[in-house]
Amino acid sequence: MGILNVTPDSFSDGGRHVAIHDAVETALQMQADGADIIDIGGESTRPYSEPVSADEERSRVIPVIDQLCGKLTIPISIDTSKGDVARAAIAAGAEIVNDVTGLEGDSTMPSVVVDHGVGVCVMHMQGSPQTMQDDPLYEDVVSEIESYLVARRQFCEACGIPRNRICLDPGIGFGKTHEHNLRLLRATRRFVALGSPLLIGHSRKGFIGKVLGDQRADRMAGTLGVSLAAAAAGANILRVHDVKPSVEALKLFEAAGGLDQRA
């Protein structure tokens, strides 16, 4: 899943794809580089980011989706927690809703997903982007998030969303310390065992700099290392900024027998 943030303030690529032409060209290049999904977001969810209105978010993402729909041959995912934005994006051609609030942020979101028959990625986040990194606490981070994801899947099914359209995401970096993130990644097989497609969104995040001992380090190599570990553990979707090196690393990892480790 290639990340396309059409925002001025996302933590890693804010401002790079604000122009519609730039965003479209980037998405087409991601497809050429081997992406299977393009995830388009119009509101930053980095720690302490400021929320934007639905109108502003729509104005950022809809023109890009409109232009991409006749050019991409892979699905578009809309990264939003607002039902109105999701509805407009689906009308423009998006096929997946990627909701960082686990469909809890907007009471209309479940009906949007049901009414349009799209897929949904349900993520765990403790708090909101404005509060999630203040002091994230868990007694058992893996068990608590596992229970949360199972409960949200049950909620989605009760709303009428078929299980085969539900993807789960433990929410790396969303209301977690660096150690929480590492514990969750080491438990990837446990989340895979829940039986739904698993998305891991680790690309360029702060825990990588922590492990490397340098928060200013280029995090691409670290991202690739986590991608390989997650793939070996059975994760289905890797949400990344750097599609080409990720695809190439996975191709060689598989050729060398690395994916044979999967349960």
Q: Which residues does the annotation mark as catalytic?
A: 205, 239
Backbone region of residue 175 per phi and psi (left: phi > 0; alpha: psi in -120 to 50; beta: other values): left
Q: Is residue 22 classed as helix, strand or coil in its secondary structure?
A: helix
Which residues have CB under 8 Å from 188's CB, separation 6+? 198, 200, 229, 230, 233, 234, 235
Distance in angstroms (rounded) separating the CA atoms of residues 110 and 107: 7
Q: What are phi and psi of 159, to 5 degrees?
A: -80, -15
* Interaxial angle between packed helices 54-68 and 83-92, expressed in degrees from 0 to 180 and rounded to the nearest 10: 20
Coil vs helix vs strand at 200: strand
Q: Could you count the other beta carbons within 10 Å of the beta carbon of residue 22?
A: 13
- Answer yes or no: are the C-beta atoms of 125 and 102 closer than 8 Å: yes
Cα distance between residue 129 and residue 105, in whole Å? 12
| Phi, psi dihedrals of residue 122, rounded to the nearest 5° | -105, 115
Reported as type and span, the H/E element at residue 123 is strand 119-123
